């Protein structure tokens, strides 16, 4: 599967991932070629790259992003998306990377917000296929032609609110969440609601209007806090 990133240095290369945990010891004991993944604050290095390193993956975006690296480099890649030793192709020219043997699963997640700033969280029921008992926004697999169309569809199915009850305020940048051999590409949305009476379907046990800080206090689906950050960091529409 191919995933989005930010291109820092052009070129394309493939190698085995090493998740660097020590800024003074970058190489692993595996044979080359190797792709190093480490925090953006360590970039650019004060020393030459070790031999056998063919590409760099950075967590976050480096302050000196204009620095041209010796090898293809991409940034803004969450560290928990990659696994030690798996094969990755880095394309610094197009700003993307590909993980061998991993399936991409598109998902939409929408936060519904009242006038007082409280948002709707839903507790997933025992009838759903994954993350039972966890809290989430209004979410579902991406099956429509666009994420926006799917977001409206899921809100209607899971809450009974139609397009006339909603005002789309923000569509955030996608968030990546790894779950074994899958990577969920979550498309985040934030809607202001014109009415707050909802009707739950079979996918959820209960719903609560809560302060957004509750996201970090509850057991949630993966990266729900990051999805919320995505729709609060982006400017509102209009």
pLDDT value, residue 149: 97
pLDDT value, residue 189: 98
How many residues comprise the chain? 238
- Residue 235 clears pLDDT 90, i.e. is over it: no
Please choose, from the candidates 183, 168, 172, 186, the residue with its C-alpha nearest in 3D space to the C-alpha of residue 224. Answer: 186
pLDDT digits (tens, 9 = 90+) for 94-125: 999 999 999 989 999 999 999 999 999 999 99
Q: Same fold for the domain at 2-99 and the one at 103-233?
A: no
pTM of the model: 0.81
**Residue found under tokens 């191919």:** 2
**Tokens representing 123?**
């507790």
Q: Residues 17-32: what's their mean pLDDT?
A: 90
**Tokens representing 129?**
């296929």
Q: What φ, ψ does residue 159 adopt, rounded to 5°?
A: -130, -15
Please choose, from the candidates 11, 10, 54, 48, the residue with its C-alpha nearest in 3D space to the C-alpha of residue 32. Answer: 54
Q: Can you tell me the distance from the alpha carbon of 68 to that of 209, in angstroms, rounded to the nearest whole number? A: 48
Percent of the chain with pLDDT over 70: 97
pLDDT digits (tens, 9 = 90+) for 79-99: 889 999 999 999 999 999 999
Q: Can you tell me the distance from the alpha carbon of 139 to that of 122, in angstroms, rounded to the nearest whole number? A: 10
pLDDT value, residue 234: 64
- Residue 143 clears pLDDT 90, i.e. is over it: yes
DSSP 8-state symbol, 209: E
**Tokens representing 58?**
């950075």
CB atoms within 10 A of CB 96: 18
pLDDT value, residue 238: 62
pLDDT value, residue 68: 66
Fold of domain 103-233: Nucleoside Triphosphate Pyrophosphohydrolase (3.90.79)
Fold of domain 2-99: Glucose Oxidase; domain 1 (3.50.30)
Contacts of 199 (CB under 8 A, 6+ apart): 159, 160
**Domains of the chain by residue range:** 2-99, 103-233
Q: Residues 126-139: what's their mean pLDDT?
A: 93
Strands 53-59 and 34-39: parallel
pLDDT band (50, 70, 90) for residue 30: confident
**Pairwise pLDDT comparison (13 vs 184), residue with the higher score:** 13
pLDDT value, residue 17: 96
């Amino acid at each position: 599967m191919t995933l989005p990133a930010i291109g820092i240095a052009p070129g394309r290369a493939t190698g085995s991932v090493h998740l660097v945990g020590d800024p003074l010891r970058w190489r692993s004991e595996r044979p080359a070629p190797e792709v190093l993944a480490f925090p953006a604050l360590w970039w650019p290095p004060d020393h030459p790259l070790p031999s056998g390193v063919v590409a760099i993956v950075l967590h976050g975006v480096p302050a000196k992003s204009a620095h041209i690296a010796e090898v293809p480099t991409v940034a803004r890649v969450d560290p928990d998306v990659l696994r030690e030793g798996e094969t990755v192709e880095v394309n610094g020219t197009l700003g993307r990377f590909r993980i061998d043997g991993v399936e991409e699963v598109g998902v939409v997640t929408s936060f519904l917000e009242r006038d007082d700033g409280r948002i709707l969280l839903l507790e997933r029921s025992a009838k759903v296929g994954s993350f039972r008992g966890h809290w989430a926004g209004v979410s579902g697999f991406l099956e429509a032609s666009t994420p926006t169309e799917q977001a409206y569809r899921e809100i209607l199915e899971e809450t009974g609110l139609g397009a006339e009850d909603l005002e789309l305020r923000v569509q955030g940048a996608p968030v990546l969440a790894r779950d074994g051999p899958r990577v969920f590409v979550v498309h985040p949305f934030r809607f202001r609601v014109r009415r707050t009476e909802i009707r739950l379907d079979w996918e959820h046990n209960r719903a609560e209007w809560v302060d957004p800080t509750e996201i970090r206090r509850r057991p949630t689906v993966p990266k729900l806090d990051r999805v919320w950050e995505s729709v609060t960091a982006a400017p509102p529409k209009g």
